[in-house]
């Protein structure tokens, strides 16, 4: 029989790790990684980004949109 997995492994945030890139509105390559093809911001449950970094990320993406960088 199939048994449900007892252990849930929490993946670490890729932006909080040691040597992670700085979240900045000028870093277009990083921001595009966290956006869909339609230009929407991907949710943190898909990207495994921490809540604090997700807020920074969304603010940076919105800033880059306003300045027409994206």
pLDDT of residue 35: 95
10 assigned to some structural domain: no
18 assigned to some structural domain: no
Residue 18 has pLDDT above 80, yes or no: yes
pLDDT by residue (tens digit) across 31-67? Answer: 999 999 999 999 999 999 999 999 999 999 999 999 9
Residue 1 has pLDDT above 70, yes or no: no
Counting the structural domains of the chain, the total is 1
Task: Name the pLDDT band for 6 (thresholds 50, 70, 90).
Answer: confident
Query: Long-range contacts made by residues 9-17, C-beta under 8 angstroms, separation at least 24?
Result: 11/48, 12/48, 13/48, 13/49, 13/50, 13/53, 14/47, 14/48, 14/49, 15/49, 15/50, 15/53, 15/57, 16/50, 16/52, 16/53
How far apart CA 66 and CA 47 sit, in angstroms, is 23
23 assigned to some structural domain: no
Domain housing 53: 36-67
pLDDT of residue 51: 94
8 assigned to some structural domain: no
59 assigned to some structural domain: yes
Residue 21 has pLDDT above 70, yes or no: yes
9 assigned to some structural domain: no
């Amino acid at each position: 029989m199939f048994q449900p997995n007892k252990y849930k492994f929490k993946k670490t945030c890729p932006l909080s790790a040691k040597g992670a890139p700085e979240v900045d509105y000028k870093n277009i390559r990083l921001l595009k990684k966290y956006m869909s093809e339609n230009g929407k911001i991907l949710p943190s449950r898909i990207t495994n980004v921490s809540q604090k970094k997700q807020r920074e990320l969304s603010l940076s993406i919105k800033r880059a949109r306003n300045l027409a960088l994206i």
